[in-house]
Amino acid sequence: MEENQNFDINKMLEAIYDVLKGQCKEEGKLGLLFVFSKNVPRDLRGDKEAIASILFHALQYVLEKNCGMPLVLSVDAPEDFIHKEPVTFKMTNLPFKEEEILPQLQKMLAKELEATEASLCYTEKSGGSIEITMPLLTELGKRRYYRLPSKEILDKKILLVIQKSIDALSLVKMFKYFPMQVDLSIKTLHEERYRLEEYDLLVLDEMLYDTPHMKDLIAQAQRNSDLVVVLYGEGELCSEESENVSEEEYDAVPCRYYLKKPVTQERIYDLLSSFFR
């Protein structure tokens, strides 16, 4: 195992996502989400090429029949990540039985699994899961992996208005890595519970932006507060390069910011750091 290859786990997964999305026959339908536990270091060391190959081919095999299938890849590590610890990559809610997927993956990935000292197993947990566990290294004694640049950023009020529950759960977990007040409204903005002007940041699913009253509610809140609006999705609604959005329509969008898929812990960190300084 080549232990001296440094890599950013966020960047690796983003690159894998982009390739898989390009291979998806249903354009824009890649249903892959990432979830990071708070114990996973950003910077790791290991056999970078072999690790990327394992994750890419495992995900590709699962998604090849239906790239729009909602699939979560969670990344976890022990609470005390001192130097060299096992990191687990788990795909959950798989529509396969063990005999339909495990032998094929073991055969396909045998060389890379051996090179990285990784294990591959199937478990009945979470509706059927594949777990890949491998020892990885990080900087000795490094504790918190995404440290916000200022204490003034702490305890901001954030509202997530997200269409799909599976997206919402992954976003909530990653936002709550930071000491923020995070509220969630699924499928629509529940006005009786959440008043936009009370929040510092609104993360709004791009599929919900054109729902009734949403634009008026955002405009009213921004007149009365410093609410920052970020759209979550594929990144097309606010794009200046979109041929389907006129300049007038673009200027009418009350944001210039996107939390673009795939969302990683690093993207959440960059988002918060850029808005709240």
pLDDT tens digits, residue range 212-236? 689 899 999 999 999 999 999 987 6
Higher pLDDT, residue 77 or 242: 77
Q: How does residue 59 score in pLDDT terms, banded at 50, 70 and 90?
A: very high
| pLDDT value at 34 more than 60 | yes
| pLDDT value at 84 more than 80 | yes
pLDDT given at position 234? 83
Mean pLDDT (whole number) for 107-127: 93
Q: How does residue 117 score in pLDDT terms, banded at 50, 70 and 90?
A: very high
Mean pLDDT (whole number) for 40-69: 92
Sheet containing strand 201-205, edge to edge, reads: 181-186, 157-162, 201-205, 228-233, 258-260
* CB < 8 Å & 24+ apart, contacts of 6-9: 6/43, 6/44, 6/45, 6/48, 7/43, 7/44, 7/45, 7/46, 7/48, 7/51, 8/42, 8/43, 8/44, 8/266, 9/36, 9/40, 9/41, 9/42, 9/43, 9/44, 9/75
pLDDT given at position 28? 60
pLDDT digit string, tens, across residues 244-270 = 444 444 344 445 588 999 999 999 999
pTM: 0.86
Across the chain, mean pLDDT equals 86
pLDDT given at position 138? 87
| pLDDT value at 63 more than 80 | yes
pLDDT given at position 242? 38
Higher pLDDT, residue 23 or 90: 90
pLDDT given at position 211? 72
Domains of the chain in sequence order = 6-137 (3.30.565.10), 151-275 (3.40.50.2300)
Higher pLDDT, residue 210 or 91: 91
